[in-house]
Amino acid sequence: MWAHSRGGLELLFGSVKCHEVDLDSNEITVEKLLVWIRENLLKERQEMFLKGKSVRPGVLVLINDYDWELMGHLEAPIKDKDSVVFISTLHGG
């Protein structure tokens, strides 16, 4: 699967906007993906992206261009070849 970051978030991932993620299983939840990102990708300042088990308020999550709020939020499933986009709206002007 691919994880994309937008809206300034890419700066937290070493200025890389797109990461290919290899999963051990065929399907995981967003919650598990966030754990993986925290452990493997976040170069700095985790609190700018994560808050507890979820993303920081103001960060949008899209799975295959679907709002994760329609897909089950943290429980939303992510499969092989899916694309997840994180967009920060904290500075939306």
Partner 1 sequence: MAACAGACDGCSAGDASHAIGDRRLDIARSVCMKCKEEAAVALANQTEPMCAQCLRSSILGKFKTVLNTHALVSAQDRILLGFSGGPSSRVALEFLAEIRSEALASRALNAPGFGLGVVFIDEGLAIGTSREERSRAVDVVEKIVSRLELPLVVRRLEEVFDDDNQEDCATQLKNLLDSVKDGTGKEDIVEILRMELLEQVAKKEGYTKLVLGLSTTRIAARVVSATAKGQGFALAAGVQYVDSRWHAPVVLPLRDCATKELALLCHFFHLETLFLRNFSTLVEPSASTINSLCSNFVFTLREDNSSRDHTIVRTAGKLTPFSFNHLAPSNGDSRSMRKRRGVKTELSNSGSNMEALCVLCRAPVDGRSQLEDDPRYCRSCTLQIVDDSKVCNLLPRHIQARRAGQAWMKSQIEEFLL
Q: Would you tell me which residues interact with partner 1 (CB under 8 A)?
A: 2, 4, 6-8, 16-22, 40-41, 45, 47-48, 51, 56-58, 60, 62, 64-67, 69-71, 81-83, 85, 87-93
12 phi/psi in degrees, rounded to 5? -80, -15
Cα–chain-centroid distance for residue 47? 13
Whole-number minimum distance, CB 28 to partner 1, in Å?
14
Q: How far apart are CA 1 and CA 84, in angstroms?
A: 8
Whole-number minimum distance, CB 9 to partner 1, in Å?
9
Q: How far apart are CA 3 and CA 83, in angstroms?
A: 6
Whole-number minimum distance, CB 23 to partner 1, in Å?
10
